[in-house]
Chains A and B, each alone.
Chain A
Amino acid sequence: MNAVTNAAGFPILSLITWLPLVGCAVIMGVRGDEEAVASNARWTALWTSLIVLALSLVLWVDFDPSDPGFQFNEHMTWLPDFKVGYSMGVDGISVLFVLLSTLLTPICILSAWQAIHTRVREFMMSFLILETMMVGMFCATDFVVFYMFFEGVLIPMYLIIGVWGGPRRVYAAVKFFLYTLTGSVLMLLALIAMWLHAGTTDIYTLMHTPFSGHMQFWLFLALFASFAVKVPMWPVHTWLPDAHVEAPTAGSVILAGVLLKMGAYGFLRFSLPMLPEASAYFAPFMFTLSVVAVIYTSLVALAQEDMKKLIAYSSVAHMGVVTIGIFTFNVQGISGALFQMLSHGIVSGALFLIVGVVYDRIHTREIARYGGLGDRMPAYSLIFMLFMMASIGLPGTAGFVGEFLVIIGSLQVNFWLALLGGMGMILGAAYMLFLYRRIIFGRITRDDLRNILDLTPREWAVFAPLIVLTLWMGIYPSSFTSYWDATVGQMVQQHTAALMHTTKLAGMVH
């Protein structure tokens, strides 16, 4: 460990990463009757995740935004013969995603407080393991370490969907697993190829290792297969609606909030800096898929009759905006993409919680079963309105900044990219307002809705941080963008430089 570069003075990243596993061990050791075990498991999980959250705030405070490189670095030799090390660090791109993961985990645990009542201990353990995997993935600065965490995320998520999910949970879980694993196999190939070429798997070294144009071409496709599934990009998105529909609320929140960001993060961490020429070569291809995703999935969302499925499809459309932003290769586009990832993490997570609130009461996600909730649930309607508006990018909320910056970034590439990529503004408004109308507006016609209760104090506690963040990110977004401004600036600069120094990829492929 290099103490000089670590502002915290102790291996904080490892601590944040592995602490949830300690909580997990504690929960495993709990004995007693079922009720006591469940209660203990809940409280232990909540406290563990809160401590992790508190620790991660050190990153928020101590992170130096003016330094574009990795900070809080840690290094341990692990497989010295293969030049593979256990190394961790965060830069402007990853630091806020660590915070996003540590914030959403306690919120999820709190939201599952009563919703999960079977195998509570195992559920809480899965969640803590999931947290370890997510945080580790964002902190890893070695490709092998990254790969292990990246794949490790699958296991607890698979269990969360498959054990605590809805009626078709097994189909959804297997689909989720197969889709994402198939992509991962190709990433492993890319990993091996890069290691053979560079002799190391250190991410920083790999970023500064030139790969031949021919190799970049194949490496890009291999990584693309993995990341595109995770984003998910059209047409490999269909696992997502099924996974969301079957997953319990907490699972959906973390899936939309953090897991969807892994693909886009991968593009930013690997494809863009390590394979600049291939990225530039494939940019039009990425734009095409993204624009199709925005328009196609927004339209599909319009036709949905299941609340969760609708929001799941809207996620695909929002992530389409992210991938557009990433491949514009300019500061506004990438900055917008990062902001959109963060805001989508908060807002879509909140929307799944919104669905969870009524699902816990009425036990159905069918939109037609609702209507007229505004009369009985004014506070719920207000919060729903806020997150809906954030989702459709109303200025002053989190959703606007990312989308707007991506439009600004993409116009510098192409007029039609900006216009078509922005179609989500219109279609998003259509499907979200339509959803809101069917659930909140109108008259109550069903008897079981007449006595439905408004938010409980526990639910307020779940929503409060998300409300604050949504408005904060909308009104004062520069307090977030400042974290990655330097890193993104450097990334764009290096990308431009790399393109200038080498000949066009197209010439080398043929």
Chain B
Amino acid sequence: MLYALAVFAPLAGAAVSGLLGRAIGDKAAMGASILGMVIAAICGPLAFFTLTAGDASAGVLDLGSWIEAGRFHVDWALRYDTLSAVMVAMVSFVSMLIHVYSVGYMGHDARPRYRFFSYLSLFSFAMLMLVTANNLAQLFFGWEGVGLCSYLLIGYWYDRPSACAAAIKAFVVNRVADLPFAVGLALIFFKFGSIEFAVIFPAVAQHAADTYHLFGHNYSAIEVIGFLLFIGAMGKSAQLGFHVWLPDAMEGPTPVSALIHAATMVTAGVFLMARMSPLMEYAPVALGFVAFIGGSTALFAATIGCTQFDIKRVIAYSTCSQLGYMFAAAGVGVYQASVFHLITHAFFKALLFLSAGSVIHAMSDEQDMRKMGGLARHIPITCAVMWIGNLALAGIPPFAGYWSKDAIISATWAAHSGIGVYAFICTVLAAFLTAFYSWRLLFMTFHGQSRADHHVMEHVHESPWVMLVPLIALACGAVFAGWALDNWFIGAGWPSFWNGSIYNGQHNHVIENLEHVPYIVELLPLIVGLAGIALAYVMYIANPLLPVRMAQAFGPVYRFVFNKWYFDELYAVIFVRPAIRLSRLLWQVGDVTIIDGVPNGLAELTTDSSRQVVRIQTGSLAVYAFVMLIGVVVLVGVFMLTVML
């Protein structure tokens, strides 16, 4: 009951504020939306704690039948196990804080705010439906639902062309990945006869040897499924190749970025891997691919993060990179660590985005870090919480990120596989870059000399308490979450904590080996992290001219990275422009000229020939000509029939 309330209260809030917003007024609508979220934020964690304390047992809350067609059958249902409950607790709590923060942040927006709050609540609802799904179809419902809400929120300021473009980009890029995902669901149904988790999971072992014919070869069906599902996850979680929508997503208001990057949306892919762990464990090749993409994305996105000047863009690429870590962990079979990082990351990434919002708020909507600097004195609380967020992100003990990130890096080492080593190298290098760009951000924003013009500086002010309180709450999470949860998520307590909701294969002992990695491996992330901070200090405080000189010295490399490895330009050349050109070609040449040309030509032929006839005989014969045509058809047809019968 608590659980269902946690899921549906946001929906109720969204409906009231969205549909009745104009009738009941802006304040009341906002109140309804926040009330729904507060209820969720109370019920969600409560449901989680009662489950882990053993006061409630895992189960399924059936809500009714959804789709039925022959053997195909799915229900609306809420799955109640540790994995779902921990996600519900995190999503509802973080989302509630973002709602509260938005009251202050959107305070000066010219438009009525009920629409914004309705979308926020709907977003949370879609994510909650996703994580509580008991079958893949409902998961897909939530999956597409967060896609819709991200579209609505990224394009919230719909009078800005850039926001509209970013919104469409986010939705369409996600859709590209959703199609293979949907096909993967179909393949699961084809092989298992159901897409209910309760049917699939026990049957995976029996189907382990099944093959599926593709590209002229027989592949393991489970592997194919694993790949298809992971492509879906890549889209939603913005992994290498599908990442292009995420940085643009910051066109939306800042609380939206916090929601997308922390609680809802991008974590869906990581959750999918953990949820489908009983299946993924039988797809070693697909898992290797997961680890490869994860490690690559972690490093790739971190390089871009080091060169960007927009404060939100730096944090956006950092999300991309951190998601890479999570997939790297999933790829080596330690889903527990990936979910652990997902949770801690949710706290500190929400914190970072919201405090960036606070900075932007203070700077009169300036986002370029080159025009900031020296803000620490003016907005001390924001500065303090942002330090905490970055300490957590960079993995400095005892902050949250240290526990989970360290575990992932250890896991890639402990996997003792080729792909594990690759992921290990990528994640360690990325850890160095992470620390570097985090402190680059801090130094450029809060320290050194101010580079803003004095009009802006005169208006710099600390944010109101309605924004600061959520920041402080998240900061507490960023400090303590790792330390508090470590034992349960990946430490000695994990088997009883997860209680079977995450599956590790019989030969997968990586999680047990986490504690037995060499001491230097455990220490390495911290060392490179401190090195990154030191480098940032040298470049941005000690010698502020160095970055410019380095950019000039490494011109081509710098431009390549600064322009985000030219992915957008590449896609425009390969996909977008050809598609537009092709669509015009098909229309004008295919439809208008060729396909329409035939009947129109026939018609002209008829009129022409009739004109010829008219010269000989008076009277319009166009109609007769057509009748004759029909007559010929009938004659030929009758002839054919008689021959046939």
Nearest-Cβ distance from residue A128 to partner chain B, whole angstroms? 29
Q: Report the Cα distance A330→B72, complex, angstroms.
A: 11
Residue B187 at the chain A interface, CB threshold 8 Å: yes
- Is B633 a contact of A419 with CB atoms below 8 Å? no
Instruction: Indicate if the CB atoms of A404 and B182 lie closer than 8 Å.
Output: yes
In the A-B complex, list the 3 residue pairs whose CB atoms are closest, starting with the nearest: A331-B70, A411-B186, A335-B69
* Contact yes or no, A443 B159, CB < 8 A: yes
Q: In the complex, given contacts A395-B137, A443-B159, what are 13 additional A-B residue pairs having Cβ atoms less than 8 angstroms apart? A: A218-B640, A235-B595, A238-B595, A238-B596, A331-B70, A374-B158, A394-B145, A407-B186, A408-B72, A412-B190, A415-B214, A481-B69, A492-B70
List, in ascending order, chain A residues with CB within 8 A of B148's CB.
389, 394
CB contact under 8 A between A476 and B66, given known A302-B583, A419-B180:
yes
Stretch at the interface among A68-76, A142-150, A252-260, A430-438: A430-438
Q: Is there a chain B Cβ closer than 8 Å to A466's Cβ? A: no
User: Looking at B137, B145, B171, B183, which has the most chain A CB atoms within 10 Å of its CB?
Assistant: B183
Q: In the bound complex, do residue B586 and residue A478 qualify as a contact, i.e. CB atoms below 8 Å apart?
A: no
Indicate the member of A330, A336, A396 with the most B CB atoms within 10 Å: A396
Q: Are A332 and B587 in contact (CB under 8 A)?
A: no
Contact with B along A2-22 (1 / 0, CB 8 A): 000000000000000000000
CB pair A300 B179 closer than 8 Å: no
Chain B residues 133 to 156 lying within 8 A of chain A, measured CB to CB, are 137, 140-141, 143-145, 148, 151, 155
Complex Cα–Cα for A241 and B176 (A)? 27
A300 and B590 in contact, given A395-B144, A419-B183, A478-B67 (Cβ under 8 angstroms): yes
A185-B633 contact given A372-B159, A437-B164, A441-B155, CB 8 Å threshold: yes
Q: Are A422 and B182 closer than 8 Å at their CB atoms?
A: yes
Would you list 15 pairs from A and B whose C-beta atoms are within 8 A, ordered by A residue? A178-B599, A189-B638, A300-B583, A302-B580, A374-B158, A395-B141, A408-B190, A411-B189, A411-B190, A425-B175, A426-B172, A426-B175, A429-B172, A476-B64, A481-B67
A248 CA to B266 CA, complexed, in Å: 45
CB pair B168–A331 under 8 Å, yes or no, is no
B171 near A299 with CB under 8 A, answer no
Decide yes or no whether B634 CB sits under 8 A from chain A.
Answer: yes
A175-B599 contact given A300-B587, A395-B144, A426-B175, CB 8 Å threshold: yes
Task: Give per-residue flags for A228-255: 1 if the beta carbon is below 8 A from chain B beta carbons, else 0.
Answer: 0000000101100100000000000000
Given A419-B179, A425-B175, A481-B69, A303-B151 contact (CB < 8 Å):
no
Instruction: Digitize A147-188: 1 where CB-to-B-CB distance is under 8 Å, 0 elsewhere.
Output: 000000000000000000000000000010011001001100
- The interface residues of chain B lying within 8 Å CB-to-CB of A425 are 175, 178-179, 182
- Verify A193–B641 contact, CB threshold 8 A: yes
Residues of chain B with a CB closer than 8 A to A368's CB: none
**A59 → chain B, closest Cβ, in Å?**
21
In the complex the two chains form, is B189's CB within 8 Å of A408's CB?
A: yes
**Inter-chain contacts of A389 with B (CB < 8 A):** 148
Chain B residue at minimum C-beta to C-beta distance from A428: B175
Q: Is the pair A396, B145 in contact by a Cβ cutoff of 8 Å?
A: yes
Q: Do residues A218 and B644 form an inter-chain contact, with CB atoms below 8 A?
A: yes
Given contacts A419-B183, A441-B164, contact A299 B67 (CB under 8 A): no
Interface residues of A in 467-499 (CB under 8 A from B): 475-478, 481-482, 485, 488-489, 492
| B 575-600 contacts with A by CB, 8 A | 579-580, 582-584, 586-587, 590-591, 595-596, 599
B206 within 8 A of partner (CB) = no
Nearest-CB distance from A400 to chain B (Å)?
8
Cα A189 to Cα B626 in complex, Å, equals 18
Q: Does B161 contact A (CB under 8 A)?
A: yes
A492 to B69, CA, bound (A): 12
CB-CB under 8 A from B180, the residues of chain A are 419
Chain A residues with CB under 8 Å of B637's CB are 185-186, 189, 222
Q: Which residues of A contact B630 (CB under 8 A)?
A: 185
- Residue among B143, B190, B214, B626 with the most chain A CB within 10 A? B190
Residues of chain A contacted by B455 (CB below 8 angstroms): none
Q: Could you tell me the dominant secondary structure of chain B's interface residues?
A: helix
- Count chain A CB atoms within 10 A of each CB in B72, B178, B180 and give the residue with the most: B72
Chain B residues with CB under 8 Å of A374's CB are 158
Residue A215 is within 8 A (CB to CB) of chain B in the complex = yes
User: Is A284 part of the contact surface with B, judged by Cβ < 8 Å?
Assistant: no
Whether A125 sits at the interface, judged by CB under 8 Å, is no
User: Is B645 an interface position by the 8 A CB rule?
Assistant: yes
Question: Is A440 interfacial (CB 8 A cutoff)?
Answer: yes
Q: Are A488 and B70 in contact (CB under 8 A)?
A: yes
B306 within 8 A of A: no
In the complex, A408→B190 CA distance in Å? 8
Q: Is B140's CB under 8 angstroms from A395's CB?
A: yes
Bound Cα distance from A378 to B179, whole angstroms? 31
A488 to chain B: which residues have CB within 8 Å?
69-70
B186 — which chain A residues lie within 8 A by C-beta?
407-408, 410-412, 418
Partner of B179, one of A423, A430, A475: A423
**For the complex, is B217 an interface residue (Cβ under 8 Å from A)?**
no
Proximity string of chain B (214-233) to chain A, C-beta cutoff 8 Å, 1 when within and 0 when not: 10000000000000000000
Contact with A along B317-348 (1 / 0, CB 8 A): 00000000000000000000000000000000
Question: Is B70 touching A442 in the complex (CB atoms < 8 A)?
Answer: no
| Cα-based distance from A401 to B64 in the complex (angstroms) | 16
Which residues of the partner chain B approach A434 to less than 8 Å between Cβ atoms?
168
- Interface residue? A192 (CB, 8 A): yes
In the complex, residue of chain A having the shortest beta-carbon distance to the beta carbon of B603: A178
Complex interface residues of chain A between 296 and 347 (CB less than 8 A to chain B): 296, 299-304, 330-332, 335-336
Shortest Cβ distance from residue B163 to the other chain A in the assembled complex, whole angstroms: 8
Residue among A179, A303, A488 with max Cβ neighbours from chain B (10 Å):
A303
- By a CB distance below 8 angstroms, the chain A residues around B164 are 437, 441-442
Asked if A117 lies at the interface with its beta carbon under 8 angstroms from chain B, I say no
Q: Which residues of B4-28 are within 8 A (CB) of A?
A: 22
Q: Which chain A residues lie closer than 8 Å to B640 at the CB level?
A: 218
Contact B179 A485 (CB under 8 A): no
Which B residues from 621 to 645 make CB contacts under 8 A with A? 626, 630, 633-634, 637-638, 640-641, 644-645
**Contact between chains at B69 and A331 (CB < 8 Å):** yes
List B contacts of A408 (CB < 8 A). Answer: 72, 185-186, 189-190
Question: Are B69 and A303 touching (Cβ within 8 A)?
Answer: no
On chain B, the residues within 8 Å of A303 by CB distance are 580, 583-584, 586-587
Q: Which of A196, A410, A485 contacts B645 (CB 8 A)?
A: A196
Could you tell me if B183 and A430 are in contact, using CB atoms closer than 8 angstroms? no
* B618 touches A (CB below 8 Å): no
What's the Cα separation between A418 and B586 when bound, in Å? 23
B65 within 8 Å of A by Cβ? yes
Bound together, the chains give a CA A179 to CA B161 distance in angstroms of 42
Q: Which residue of A lies closest to B165 (CB)?
A: A437
Q: Which of B190, B212, B579, B641 is the one whose CB lies under 8 Å from A302? A: B579
Contact indicator A299/B583 (Cβ below 8 Å): yes
Find chain B residues with CB under 8 A from A404 CB. Answer: 67, 137, 140, 182
Chain A residues whose C-beta falls within 8 Å of the C-beta of B586 in the assembled complex: 296, 299-300, 303
Q: In the assembled complex, which residues on chain B have CB atoms less than 8 Å from the CB atom of A372?
A: 159
For B580, list chain A residues within 8 Å (CB): 302-303
The yes or no answer to B68 lying at the interface (CB within 8 A) is yes
A214 at the interface (CB under 8 A from B): yes
Complex CA–CA separation, A434 to B151 (angstroms): 12
Q: Are A189 and B65 in contact (CB under 8 A)?
A: no
Specify the chain B residue showing the minimal Cβ separation from A403.
B182
Most chain A CB within 10 A, of B172, B595, B637, is at: B637
Say yes or no: is B549 at the interface (Cβ < 8 Å to chain A): no
> Which B residue's beta carbon lies closest to that of A372?
B159
By the criterion CB–CB under 8 Å, are A485 and B68 in contact? Answer: yes
Query: In whole angstroms, what is the CA distance A321 to B460 when docked?
Result: 57
* Separation of A214 and B590 alpha carbons in the complex (Å): 34
A332 to B190, CA, bound (A): 11
- A197 lies within 8 A of chain B by Cβ: yes
With the chains together, A158 CA to B237 CA distance in Å? 51
Q: Is the CB of A440 within 8 A of B644?
A: no
Assess the B70–A179 pair: CB atoms within 8 A: no
B377 beta carbon closer than 8 Å to chain A? no
